[in-house]
Amino acid sequence: MDSLETQFEAILKNVQSYLPDPDLSILKKAYDFSLRAHREQLRAGGDPFIIHPLAVAKILSDLQLDVPTLAAGLLHDVLEDTNTSRETLCSEFGAEIASLVEGVTKIDSLEQVAWDPENLSFLSSSPEILKQAEYWRKMLLATAQDIRVILLKLADRKHNMQTLEFLTPEKRKKIAEETLTLYAPLANRLGMFKLKSSLEDLSLKYLDEQVYAALEKKIDEREVLREGFIRECVEKIQAALADQPIPYKISARPKNLYSVYRKMLRQGKPFEEIQDIIGIRLITDTIEHCYALLGAVQTSFTPVPDSFTDYIATPKNNLYQSLHITIQISRQEIVEVQIRTEEMNQICEYGVAAHWRYKEGGKSPAKKQQDSLEDKLDWIKQILEWQQDTKNPKEFLEWLKLELEFDQVFVFTPKGEVKKLPAGATPIDFAYAVHTDLGHQCIGSKVNGKMVRLDHPLKSGDMCQILTKKGQKPHKDWLEIVKTPRARSKIRKFLRENEEKGTRYRS
C-alpha cells in the first residue's frame, strides 16, 4: 500500500489537473486535521482510519469536484467519530465545509425516528424498516439543500463496499442489498454511470460470490480472446466513416459485469450465448454531427430491428443524452454503438457532478447551468412531497425504489408534449402526470386513437388521450393499478380527505 502522504499527493495532483489555481492549502489543512482527529482509530481491517477519508476524497477528485467538497470528504467522519465540535470545524474551515460535513453526519445519526406516532400503520414495520426509511428521508432532505451531500455519501459508500470483506457475512449481505437496491439506482438517477456500475459489481460480489467469480473469469477470458474482434469492429466503423468530414473519437468498452448478469437472467441464456457485451462509443463536437455519424453507420451496417433509441431528442431524467443503435458487425456478431457530443460524454461520466463546479476559477456556475441542475433534481423534492402523504415508512421506501428504477417510457399528450413515466405505467399514471384534476376526473382513455382499459401498460411512442367527466372521483381500486408515487399519493390524499369530510358530516 502507498504511504498516506503518497495517497494524499495523488489527490492534489488529480485536483490540479482539472481545477485552475485550486486552494490546495485548505486540502492540506483538512488532511492534517483529519489525521490528528482519527490518530487513535483503526478500520475493521486493521488499517489506520485515515485511509477511509483519503479514499473518499480520492473518489470525489475522480469525479472532478470542487475543493470544499474534497475537504469535506477528508473531514466527513470527524463530527461523528471524534470529539470535534461543529463550532471548531466552522472556525477552522468556514461555514460551507462545516455545513457539508454536518449534512453527512445528520444523515448517519439516527437516534430518533420521525414518523407520526398517531398513525398506527407504521407499527406494522420492523425497527429496521423504520430506521432505513428515516435514513433515506434525511438523505433526500440534505440532498435537496446541497447536492454535494449525496455525492459525499456515494463516495463513502463506494469505499465501504471496497472494504466489505472485513465484516461478517450477514453484514456484508445486508449492506450489499441496500447498495444494489438504493445506492446504485440513486447514482444512476443522478447520471453517474461509472459509479453506478462499480456499486452494482461490488454488490453482486458479496450477494453471490460464486456467480461473480465465474462471470469475472469468463469475461476476462473472452476479452483476451476478443481483442482482435474489438480491433476489427473499430477498424470497420472507421472505414465506414472515412468519407465523413466530421471530427470524432472512437473507443470500445465492455459492459459492466452486473449488466451482463442481468441480461443473462432477462434472456434466460448462459454467458456463452450473450451477445452485445461490447459497446462502441463515437464522440463528436455537435448534435448535428451526431446525427450525421448515425446516418453513416446505418448506411454501412445492418441495424438490429427496434434497437435505435434517441436520447438526444428525448433525454433521460438523469441528464443522459446519446444516440443508441445496435448493428450487425458480422454474420454472427452484433455491437451497440453510442454516439454523443463531448459535453454529453462528460455528463455521462460525471452526471450531476459535471454540472456542479463551485467557484471554479473564482466563478459561480452560470445561471442557465444552475437552473438546469435544479430542474434535474426536482424529482427529489417530489419524493419529499410524496413522503408527506404517507406515514408508513415501508411504503415510502417502496416509492423511493420505484422512483429510482430507471426503465422509462415516453408517452405523448394529444398536443405533442412528452411525459416520462416508469415502465408499466398506466393511463391513470399518465393523467396524474399531466394534472391532478385530470387524474381525479378520469373515466377512460384512448391510446393511439383506440379505447383501452385504465390498467393498460403504456409504451414509448404512445399518444394517450384521457377522457373525463365532471364530478368523477378517484376509485380506491386505482391504488392497485397505478405505478407512480405521484398518482398513488394524489389518490390517497383525495380518498383520505373525503373520508374525513364524510366522518365529520355523519357526526
pLDDT tens column, 287-325: 999 999 999 999 999 999 988 999 998 887 777 899 999
506 has a pLDDT exceeding 70: no
CB 143 within 8 Å of CB 183: no
Determine how many CB atoms are found less than 10 A away from the CB of residue 384. Answer: 14
Catalytic residue among 23, 80, 92, 232: 80
Which residues fall within 8 angstroms of residue 308, CB to CB, at 6 or more apart? 323, 324, 325
Residues 410 and 468 sit within 8 Å (Cβ to Cβ): no
By mean pLDDT, which of 3-7, 48-52, 472-476, 500-504 is the weakest?
A: 500-504
- Residue 101 to residue 152: CA distance in whole angstroms: 9
In angstroms, the CA 114 to CA 137 distance is: 10
**CB neighbourhood size of 84 (10 A):** 20
Give the range among 72-76, 211-215, 250-254 with minimum mean pLDDT.
250-254
Residue 436, C-beta contacts closer than 8 angstroms, at least 6 positions apart: 490
Give the count of beta carbons closer than 10 Å to the beta carbon of residue 343.
Answer: 14
Whole-number pLDDT of residue 20:
86
- At 376 the pLDDT is 58
Digit-coded pLDDT (tens) for 457-498: 998 888 999 999 988 999 999 999 998 888 888 898 899 888
pLDDT above 70 as % of the chain: 81
What is the DSSP secondary structure assignment for residue 120, as one 8-state letter? G
What is the per-residue pLDDT for 331?
78
Query: What value does the mean pLDDT take over residues 132-136?
Result: 71
Angle, CA 372 vertex, CA 20 and CA 430 arms, to 5°: 150
User: Would you state the pLDDT for residue 360?
Assistant: 43
Q: Residues 372-395: pLDDT tens digits?
A: 555 556 667 666 666 666 666 666
Judge whether 227 counts as a catalytic residue: no
**pLDDT band at 365, cuts 50/70/90?**
very low
The confidence score (pLDDT) of residue 320 equals 83
Please give the pLDDT value at position 392: 65
| 3-state class percentages of the chain: helix first, strand second, coil last, to nearest 5 | 60, 10, 30
pLDDT for the residue numbered 388: 64
Domains of the chain: 4-202 (1.10.3210.10), 212-352 (3.30.460.10), 407-506 (3.10.20.30)
- Kindly report which listed range (80-89, 127-136, 292-301, 455-464) carries the lowest average pLDDT score: 127-136
Strand 309-310 to 334-341 pairing: unpaired
Count Cα atoms within 13 angstroms, Cβ side, for 48.
15
Contact by Cβ (8 Å): 107, 80: no
Strands 334-341 vs 278-284: parallel, antiparallel or unpaired = parallel
The answer, yes or no, to whether residue 123 has pLDDT greater than 50, is no
The alpha carbon dihedral of 381, 62, 75, 29 has a sign of negative
The rounded Cα 348 to chain-centroid distance in angstroms is 11
Of 19-23, 349-353, 412-416, the range with the lowest mean pLDDT is: 349-353
pLDDT top residue among 277 and 204: 204
Three-class SS of residue 272? helix
Tell whether the model's pLDDT for residue 165 goes beyond 70. Answer: yes
- Rounded CA gap, 182 and 200, in Å? 10
Highest mean pLDDT out of 98-107, 292-301, 312-321, 396-405: 292-301
**Residue spans of alpha helices (H) in 116-179:** 127-145, 148-162, 169-178
Evaluate whether 134 touches 108 at the Cβ level (below 8 Å): no
| DSSP label at residue 419 | E
At 121, is the pLDDT very low, low, confident or very high (cuts 50, 70, 90)? very low
Classify residue 200 by burial, with Cβ atoms within 10 Å: 0-12, 13-18, 19+: buried
Query: Position of cell 405533442?
Result: 416
Average pLDDT over residues 4-33: 93
Cα 59 to chain center, whole Å?
16
Contacts of 476 (CB under 8 A, 6+ apart): 491, 495
Over the stretch 250-284, which tens digit does the pLDDT of each residue have? 998 777 888 888 888 888 888 888 776 778 999 99
Confidence of residue 358 (pLDDT cuts 50, 70, 90): very low
**Considering the chain, what is the average pLDDT of its residues?**
83
User: Which of 9, 21, 81, 499 is labelled catalytic?
Assistant: 81
Query: Over 50: is that where the pLDDT of 170 sits?
Result: yes
CB 133 within 8 A of CB 397: yes
Lowest mean pLDDT among 13-22, 337-346, 405-414, 432-441: 405-414
Predicted confidence band at 330 (pLDDT cuts at 50, 70, 90)? confident
Instruction: Give the Cα separation of 64 and 59 in Å (integer).
Output: 9
C-alpha cell at 310: 434517441
Identify the residue with better confidence: 45 or 432.
432
Q: What is the pLDDT of residue 315?
A: 83
Give yes or no: 5 in active site.
no
Q: Looking at residue 366, what is its pLDDT?
A: 42
Task: Provide mean pLDDT across the span 209-218.
Answer: 90
At residue 390, the pLDDT reads 62
